[in-house]
Chain A
Amino acid sequence: MTFITNVAYIMTKYWRTFLLQGIGYTLLLSLIAVSGGAFFGSLMALAKRSRLKLLRAVVNIIVEVVRGTPVLLQLYIGVFVFPMIVPALSSLPYIYSVSIVLIINSSAYVSEIIRSGIEAVDAGQMEAARSLGLTQRTAMVSIVLPQAVKNILPALGNEFIMVVKETSLASTFFVGELMTSYLKVKGYTYLTMECLVIVGVLYFALTYILSKLLKVLERRMKAHA
Chain B
Amino acid sequence: MLDIKNIYKNFGDVHVLKGVSTHVEKGEVVVIIGVSGSGKSTLLRCMNLLEEPTFGEVWMEGRLMTPPDPYLHEEVIRASKTYGRLRSEGLDDAGAIKKIKDEDLLKEKHPRAEGNAYKTELEKIYRENGIDINLGRQKMGMVFQSFNLFNNKTVRENITLAPIKIGRQRLKEAKKRGESVDKTPEDIVKAANAKAMELLERIGLQDKADVYPSTLSGGQRQRVAIIRALAMEPDVMLFDEPTSALDPEMVGEVLDLIRDLVKSGMTSVIVTHEMGFAKEVADRVIFMHDGVIAEEGTPDEVFNHPKNPRCRDFLSKVLY
Tell me the A residues contacting B by CB distance below 8 Å. 122, 124-125, 127-135, 138, 142-143, 146-147, 225
Q: Are A132 and B137 in contact (CB under 8 A)?
A: yes
Q: Are A130 and B161 in contact (CB under 8 A)?
A: no
Which of the residues A124, A134, A138, A143 comes within 8 Å of B144, measured between beta carbons?
A124
Q: How far is the CB of A52 from chain B (nearest CB, A)?
A: 18
Q: Are A132 and B162 in contact (CB under 8 A)?
A: yes
Q: How far is the CB of B222 from chain A (nearest CB, A)?
A: 12
The stretch that binds A, out of B23-31, B83-91, B147-155, B278-286, is B147-155
Please list 21 pairs of residues, one from A and one from B, whose beta carbons are closer than 8 Å in the complex, sorted by A's number.
A122-B148, A125-B148, A127-B142, A127-B144, A128-B142, A128-B149, A128-B225, A129-B150, A129-B162, A130-B50, A131-B48, A131-B144, A131-B229, A132-B229, A133-B135, A134-B166, A143-B150, A143-B152, A147-B151, A225-B152, A225-B212
- Given the known inter-chain contacts A133-B166, A133-B232, A134-B166, please indicate yes or no for A128 contacting B150, CB distance below 8 A: yes
Range class of the B interface residue count:
20 to 34
Q: Which residue in chain A gives the minimum CB-CB distance to B158? A: A128
Q: Which residues of A contact B152 (CB under 8 A)?
A: 143, 146-147, 225
Interface presence of B134 (CB below 8 A): yes
Tell me the B residues contacting A by CB distance below 8 Å. 48, 50, 134-138, 140-142, 144, 146-153, 161-162, 165-166, 212, 225, 228-229, 232
Q: Which residue in chain B gives the minimum CB-CB distance to A131? A: B142
Which of the residues A125, A133, A143, A147 comes within 8 Å of B137, measured between beta carbons?
A133
**Total cross-chain contacts (CB, 8 A):** 68
Complex-state Cα separation, A132 to B137, whole angstroms: 6
Q: How far is the CB of A63 from chain B (nearest CB, A)?
A: 26
Q: Which residues of A contact B144 (CB under 8 A)?
A: 124, 127-128, 131
Q: Are B140 and A138 in contact (CB under 8 A)?
A: no
Which of the residues B137, B141, B228, B229 comes within 8 Å of A130, measured between beta carbons?
B137
Complex-state Cα separation, A225 to B149, whole angstroms: 14
- Given the known inter-chain contacts A127-B50, A128-B142, A225-B212, please indicate yes or no for A134 contacting B148, CB distance below 8 A: no
Q: Which residues of A contact B165 (CB under 8 A)?
A: 134, 138, 142
Central interface residue in A125, A134, A225, by most chain B CB within 10 Å: A134
Q: Which residues of B contact A138 (CB under 8 A)?
A: 165
Q: Are A125 and B150 in contact (CB under 8 A)?
A: yes
Complex-state Cα separation, A225 to B215, whole angstroms: 11
